[in-house]
Amino acid sequence: MTDTVDKPELDTEDPEYAANLRRATLASTVGSALEYFDFALYGLSSALIFNRLFFTDLDPNIGIVASLASFGVGFLARPLGGLFFGTIGDRIGRKWVLVVTILLMGGATTLIGALPTYEAIGIWAPIMLTVLRLLQGFGAGAEQAGATVLMAEYSPVKKRGFFSSLPFIGIQLGTLLAALVFSFLASLPDEIFLTWAWRVPFLMSFLLILVAIFIRMKLKETPTFVELEKHEQVTDRPIRNVFTKGLPGIVVGAGLRMAENGGSYMFQTVALAFVTSSAAVTVDRSLATWGVTIGSLIGCFSIPLTGWLSDRVGRKPVYRAGAVFMLLYAFPAWWALSLGIPWLVIAVVAIGIGVAVNTMLGPQCAMLPELFGNRHRYLGVAMAREISAVLAGGLAGVIGAYMLAVSGGNWILMAVYMATLAAITTASTFLVPETRGRDLFRTEDAVRLSTDETGPR
């Protein structure tokens, strides 16, 4: 099967199209905010307090490893969720999948806030925590992929980089909200913070769920999927399709995310564990989280800026600039963290998240959907995102915490690890064609075509 026929041009002046674009932007933004509120909240908690609430029978250093491992298991469920929901998204459409995933993901987060601790029920506490984390990851496995595909398919072609990046401000808002709430709660006395106050932000997820479902129920299906249905080109075997025709795109797409995803979670979790729990460095936990807060605030501007820039100069050069920056930043950043100077810790984490990570995230929002053909785009994006989430994001916390525990807080090992992730992503930018302006009604993958075939059509 080749390209679809009679590909329509999106009428950006049509009031109905403009209204649908606004709904899609709002629906994707709220979903992204909830996902990253959940994940940032869990990441902060696993780095700073879960070892004291759910893994109290272990040595403190091993308790942190176990706590971050519970954070990591959510990433193991993400590819399975991406595979399951991505298949449905390519067969019945994007809208209903996004309703189900937000309910599953947010519901699991809310229930974490109601869990009894190890002191109350013993070994069942970390088991229940891990199960809810798995459910959270299963829902999240298709949530961000769905938001990415939804916005790319709705966006005007010449402004796709900018419009596709707008919902990813939700990532920053969710992370920012989690960091702000956690910074305030962490400043409370331990007897308040560790008994009931830590539960409040998890329970708050319920409100975000209601808002997200209300918005998504009013959303219409994307123009590209409607076109597939119109010409009876919806695939009935998306899994076979994506792992044969789409495999090169999955591999390269996962490589592109190693630095962005791995770097993000290293700065949000491992760096905080390093500066608050390492024998060599001790920074107050409430101060350390301000780096995440400021970095997320910077991202509200850097993401749409780099998305806009990718519409002008191309996705590849902007993406490569972010990867190279992280490669050069890794060693001075971890050395600076090892000094344990509070204001320097805040600055390092803020620049790492706000500049290094988000310079890649801006163009990525349009670039990943542009790598895949219309018949298996949702599943392709989900697999590229979630395989990399396991290899980079999930393992970053576990490997990082283990390195810190066995090395006595050796910052050089952490710098080498981060630089390796950045080197993989930098190399991956040389393996993809330029996708700016690619026709998303096409059914072939970009990475299966020569570079001169991937431009506007």
Instruction: Give the C-alpha separation, 170 to 302, whole Å.
Output: 13
pLDDT value for 348: 94
Q: What is the pLDDT of residues 310-328, one digit of tens each?
A: 999 999 999 999 999 999 9
Is residue 450 over pLDDT 70?
A: no
Angle at 326 between CA 321 and CA 331, to 5 degrees: 145
% of the chain with per-residue pLDDT over 70: 89
Quick: pLDDT tens for 95-133: 778 888 888 888 888 999 999 988 888 889 888 988 998
3-state secondary structure of 17: helix
Residues 163-177: what's their mean pLDDT? 84
pLDDT at residue 454 in the model:
42
Confidence of residue 10 (pLDDT cuts 50, 70, 90): low
Residue 331 pLDDT greater than 90, yes or no: yes
Closest alpha carbon to 101 in 43, 165, 34: 34
Check whether 64 has a pLDDT greater than 90: no
Percent of the chain residues topping a pLDDT of 90: 24
- 140 vs 158: which has the higher pLDDT: 158
Task: Specify the DSSP class assigned to residue 448.
Answer: G
49 DSSP assignment:
T
Q: Are 56 and 157 in contact (CB under 8 A)?
A: no
pLDDT at 455: 44
What is the domain class of 16-453 according to CATH? mainly alpha
Alpha helices in 339-394 (DSSP H): 342-351, 358-371, 377-388
Task: Give mean pLDDT, residues 392-416.
Answer: 78
Higher pLDDT, 344 or 286: 344
Task: Say whether pLDDT at 5 is over 60.
Answer: no
Domain edges within the chain? 16-453
pLDDT band for position 12 (cuts 50, 70, 90): low
Among 101-115, 129-143, 223-237, the minimum mean pLDDT is found in 223-237
Q: Tell whether pTM > 0.75.
A: yes
Q: How confident is the model at residue 335 (pLDDT cuts 50, 70, 90)?
A: very high
User: Looking at this protein, which amino acid is placed at residue 232?
Assistant: E
The answer to whether the beta carbons of residues 363 and 307 sit under 8 Å apart is yes
Question: Using 50, 70 and 90 to split pLDDT, how confident is the model at 452?
Answer: very low
Euclidean distance between CA atoms 175 and 293, whole angstroms: 7
How many CA atoms are closer than 13 Å to the CA of 350, on its beta-carbon side? 16
DSSP structure string for 269-336 = IIHHHHHHH-SS----HHHHHHHHHHHHHHHHHHHHHHHHHHHHH-HHHHHHHHHHHHHHHHHHHHHH
Buried b (16+ CB within 10 A) or exposed e, 333-352: bbebbbebeeeebbbbbbbb
State pLDDT tens for residues 364-388. Answer: 999 999 999 888 888 889 889 888 8
Please tell me the predicted confidence (pLDDT) of residue 448: 67
- In terms of Cα–Cα distance, which of 142, 130, 2, 145 is closest to 80? 142
Average pLDDT of every residue of the chain: 82
